[in-house]
Chain A
Amino acid sequence: MESLRVENLTKDYPMGERVVRALDGVSLEVVPGEFLGVVGRSGSGKSTLLNLLAGLDRPSSGSLWIGDRDLAQMSPDQLAHHRQHTVGMVFQFFHLVPTLTALQNVELPMAFTGLSPGMRSEKAKSLLGDVGLSHRLDHIPSQLSGGEQQRVSIARSLANDPQFLLADEPTGNLDSATGKEILEIFKQLHGEGRTVICVTHEQDLWMECLDRVIELRDGRLFREERPGSSHAAGNGDPGEQ
């Protein structure tokens, strides 16, 4: 199990002549097996941080260490390998391939890693069984409810046994009851030893299982809190909010 270390991470997006600084010098360490919540207002840089951790995008400066490897220095192929094997992503809008069945969606990441068709299908079925969707294997996303789609996408994120689970508002598009079910699945995955980093607006819902919450504000790490203990620490004003 490797730890994740973010050092002075900055991300600029060019906007015509100006640049938008989506992340501004964020430093952070996530220990193996931690359940980290990321909160903050819209536009504060949460998704940007997650995409950088996922290796979907490259930082403008700073570094992202997974063990002794720096994502910022990786080749495109190495980044793809990182996305295939080290992280799994879950999105607010599920982002399933609309033309593929639940089973095929879960098999897809394993196709990218070249797993044999027989093993793929076996693994995908077992993963879908774990999230309670054994009876929906051949449904395409539009034939599934939001909660079911999110379960498929969770099963997909686990296809290649990643150590890190990166979720961007996984319950943001679901009613609270369904959100709770999804939350339970995440709890269980965390219990199995995975490191979970979850962006959320619904702090109340997630609070019970988070080891730590960080709040971003204007691209900076504003506040850090450990819900279990009563003390909070951060580089912002702990009294605010």
Chain B
Amino acid sequence: MPWRDVLQMAWRNIGQARLRFILTCLGVLIAISTLVALVSFGAGLRQQTVENLEVREVFTSFQILGPARAQSFRRFRSPGAENSASSARPVLDQELVGRVAALDGVVSVQPDIRFAVRLENGENAHLTRVRGAGPHVAPLSPYSKITHGRFLSGTEGAEIVLTGRVARRLGFEPAEQAVGKTIQLLTDRLKQDVSDGDLPFETVRLSYQVVGVLPRLLPNQTNPFFRGVVIPLEEARRLWKENASGMTSLSGLSSLEEGRGREYDSIDVRVADLVSLERVREEVRSWGAATFAIVDQMKRIQEAFLVLEVVLGVLGGIAMLVASLGIANVLIISVMERRQVIGIMKAIGGTDRDVRRIFLAEAGLIGFSGGVMGLLAGWTLTRIATVFIDRYFQSNNILNPPDLFAYPLWLVAGAIGFAVGLSLLSGVIPANRASRVDPVQALRQG
């Protein structure tokens, strides 16, 4: 009997006991919708993390960490950070920048410049850290998510990008009002000639125009390399060279006084590709430097989500197991009820195989229908959940709330495939029973 006819027969049989079919499908529906909602949550979380960091540059860059940064990154336990305290550690200065730049596969080496400043807007003042950045980070989160104003136009100029929080501290309410305004930036600078008893510092006051304000974002939407208030890179480098804030160690100060120049907090290294990343990093690490690459963190995050997805999947799987017991049960009853029809089919030329296939097809159809409906139900469920989650985020002033649920093709295909597969499996025993019905006996009972 051709498959087309088998399916048609099965479909007709199902139509004969519609309520029973619907109830059985409902079991599959519940299981699959749970499974789909849960797994799509895991997939959504992962996609959020991956997508927002999934910028080529992020994966092909790493940082050489100075002692302070190595300390703060230690929680990521990146392999290089562990020997950060070793005395053989190279100094993060211009010479090291040159050494790294000379390595094969390195595209650019840029010291990360950050220092504390005081921002003023009339009466309002706020202490914060600024960092230098060029337009090359504009496509990276969070700068790509600027909703008010724009990002810095170049590496020079009196432009500044604020975060929403800092803007509010400076008296801009709502924060986007800051765009276009001019604010004051105060920073300390080493005096050229210091007379005895005098502080070695003086304060400089500079005017900057606010060109953009960053929205508040979830931690997973921001790149740990870049966040906070930014000014153009060369501007920052000039100020930083003379800036003494954050230099808590005497050695730092003395190095300044000795004219050796200040040690960088960290150095950003960009390489051509992932292969170069590993090679260059290995080389730099062999010099004793601590490094951090986002790929380390990505691996860990992906592992965590994989575990989450597996756990959630198992829960849904158990629900599906219960549903398939229901399918087996319904089909076994159906075999008993249809003994006579099975006998008739065999008497007029149906083979055992035909009969088995018809019942398997019924199981498959139940699984398919339940799977498709479960997918739709699960999707609807997560859409509803999203509405509430968005409302929650918005009430907490988080713009661009993330979509926590994702429906990649593998999830759609997997959910339906899983439903059909398990249903077929639960149809095996009933189908075999059906195929073994003795037609002589079955017809005798007519």
Residues of A within 8 A of B (CB): 47, 51, 54, 56-57, 76-77, 80, 83-85, 88-89, 91, 93, 95-100, 108-109, 111-114, 156-157, 159-160
Q: A95-B344, A99-B13, A108-B345 are in contact. Are A76 and B351 (CB under 8 A)?
A: yes
Cα-based distance from A56 to B437 in the complex (angstroms): 11
- Determine if B197 is an interface residue (Cβ-Cβ < 8 Å): no
What 9 pairs between A and B have smallest CB-CB spacing?
Answer: A84-B349, A112-B349, A80-B351, A93-B446, A111-B5, A109-B348, A83-B349, A95-B344, A57-B440
B348 contact from A51, A83, A98, A114, Cβ within 8 A: A83
Q: B349 near A113 (CB under 8 angstroms)?
A: yes
Across the two chains, which residue of chain B brings its CB closest to A114? B2
Chain B 223-248 residues near chain A, CB threshold 8 A: none
B1 contact from A88, A89, A111, A160, Cβ within 8 A: A111
Q: A114 near B12 (CB under 8 angstroms)?
A: no
Which residues on the A side are within 8 Å of B16 (C-beta)? 99
Q: A56-B439, A91-B443 are in contact. Are A112 and B347 (CB under 8 A)?
A: no
11 sample A-B contacts, Cβ–Cβ < 8 Å, listed by A number: A47-B444, A54-B347, A56-B439, A56-B440, A76-B351, A76-B352, A80-B349, A83-B346, A83-B348, A85-B349, A113-B349
Which residues on the A side are within 8 Å of B349 (C-beta)? 80, 83-85, 109, 112-113, 160
Cα-based distance from A97 to B338 in the complex (angstroms): 10
Across the two chains, which residue of chain B brings its CB closest to A159? B348
Which residues on the B side are within 8 Å of A89 (C-beta)? 347-348
Number of interface residues of B (CB under 8 A): 25
Cα-based distance from A113 to B5 in the complex (angstroms): 11
List 11 additional contacts besides A97-B341, A109-B349; criterion CB under 8 Å: A47-B444, A54-B347, A80-B349, A80-B352, A95-B347, A99-B13, A108-B348, A112-B1, A112-B350, A112-B351, A114-B1
Cα-based distance from A77 to B351 in the complex (angstroms): 7
Cα-based distance from A136 to B150 in the complex (angstroms): 78
Which residues on the A side are within 8 Å of B347 (C-beta)? 54, 56, 83, 89, 95
Interface centre among B340, B354, B443, B444, by most A CB within 10 Å?
B443
Q: B345 near A95 (CB under 8 angstroms)?
A: no
Q: A51 near B351 (CB under 8 angstroms)?
A: no
Q: A91 near B12 (CB under 8 angstroms)?
A: no
Interface centre among B345, B348, B443, by most A CB within 10 Å?
B348
Which residues on the B side are within 8 Å of A51 (C-beta)? 440
Q: A91-B443, A111-B5, A112-B1 are in contact. Are A97 and B345 (CB under 8 A)?
A: yes
Cα-based distance from A91 to B5 in the complex (angstroms): 25
Q: A51-B440, A91-B443, A99-B13 are in contact. Are A56 and B346 (CB under 8 A)?
A: yes
Instruction: Give, as a whole number of angstroms, the nearest-CB distance from A196 to chain B.
Output: 17
Instruction: Give, as a whole number of angstroms, the nearest-CB distance from B260 to chain A.
Output: 91
Across the two chains, which residue of chain B brings its CB closest to A111? B5
Cα-based distance from A54 to B1 in the complex (angstroms): 20
Cα-based distance from A113 to B349 in the complex (angstroms): 8
Cα-based distance from A80 to B439 in the complex (angstroms): 12
Instruction: Give, as a whole number of angstroms, the nearest-CB distance from A80 to chain B.
Output: 4
Q: B1 near A99 (CB under 8 angstroms)?
A: no
Which residues on the B side are within 8 Å of A157 (C-beta)? 348
Q: A99 near B12 (CB under 8 angstroms)?
A: yes
Cα-based distance from A170 to B348 in the complex (angstroms): 16
Q: B352 near A95 (CB under 8 angstroms)?
A: no
Instruction: Give, as a whole number of angstroms, the nearest-CB distance from A98 to chain B.
Output: 7
Cα-based distance from A51 to B13 in the complex (angstroms): 27
Instruction: Give, as a whole number of angstroms, the nearest-CB distance from A118 to chain B.
Output: 13
Across the two chains, which residue of chain B brings its CB closest to A81? B349
Instruction: Give, as a whole number of angstroms, the nearest-CB distance from A6 to chain B.
Output: 17
Q: A95 near B1 (CB under 8 angstroms)?
A: no
Across the two chains, which residue of chain A brings its CB closest to B8? A111
Which residues on the A side are within 8 Å of B341 (C-beta)? 97-99
Which residues on the A side are within 8 Å of B12 (C-beta)? 99-100
Which residues on the B side are within 8 Å of A47 (C-beta)? 444
Cα-based distance from A95 to B439 in the complex (angstroms): 12
Q: A112-B1, A114-B2, A160-B349 are in contact. Are A91 and B440 (CB under 8 A)?
A: no
Which residues on the A side are within 8 Å of B9 (C-beta)? 111
Which residues on the B side are within 8 Å of A54 (C-beta)? 347
A95 contact from B2, B340, B351, Cβ within 8 A: B340
Cα-based distance from A95 to B443 in the complex (angstroms): 8
Cα-based distance from A114 to B344 in the complex (angstroms): 18
Which residues on the A side are within 8 Å of B352 (C-beta)? 76, 80
Chain B 387-446 residues near chain A, CB threshold 8 A: 439-440, 443-444, 446
Q: B446 near A91 (CB under 8 angstroms)?
A: yes
Instruction: Give, as a whole number of angstroms, the nearest-CB distance from B345 to chain A.
Output: 7
Which residues on the B side are within 8 Å of A99 (C-beta)? 12-13, 16, 341
Which residues on the A side are within 8 Å of B350 (C-beta)? 80, 112
Which residues on the B side are within 8 Å of A112 (C-beta)? 1, 345, 348-351, 354
Instruction: Give, as a whole number of angstroms, the nearest-CB distance from A127 to chain B.
Output: 13
Contact indicator per residue, chain B 1-28, by CB within 8 Å of chain A (1) or not (0): 1100100010011001000000000000
Which residues on the A side are within 8 Å of B446 (C-beta)? 91, 93, 95
Interface centre among A47, A99, A100, A157, by most B CB within 10 Å?
A99
Which residues on the B side are within 8 Å of A97 (C-beta)? 341, 344-345
Across the two chains, which residue of chain B brings its CB closest to A100? B12
Instruction: Give, as a whole number of angstroms, the nearest-CB distance from B149 to chain A.
Output: 68
Which residues on the A side are within 8 Å of B348 (C-beta)? 83-84, 88-89, 108-109, 112, 156-157, 159
Instruction: Give, as a whole number of angstroms, the nearest-CB distance from B384 to chain A.
Output: 40
Cα-based distance from A108 to B2 in the complex (angstroms): 12
Instruction: Give, as a whole number of angstroms, the nearest-CB distance from B410 to chain A.
Output: 36
Cα-based distance from A98 to B9 in the complex (angstroms): 13
Across the two chains, which residue of chain A brings its CB closest to B352? A76
Instruction: Give, as a whole number of angstroms, the nearest-CB distance from A103 to chain B.
Output: 13
Across the two chains, which residue of chain A brings its CB closest to B439? A56
Across the two chains, which residue of chain B brings its CB closest to A92? B446
Which residues on the A side are within 8 Å of B351 (C-beta)? 76-77, 80, 112
Which residues on the A side are within 8 Å of B354 (C-beta)? 112
Instruction: Give, as a whole number of angstroms, the nearest-CB distance from A59 to chain B.
Output: 12
Chain B 319-344 residues near chain A, CB threshold 8 A: 340-341, 343-344
Instruction: Give, as a whole number of angstroms, the nearest-CB distance from A219 to chain B.
Output: 16
Cα-based distance from A111 to B348 in the complex (angstroms): 10
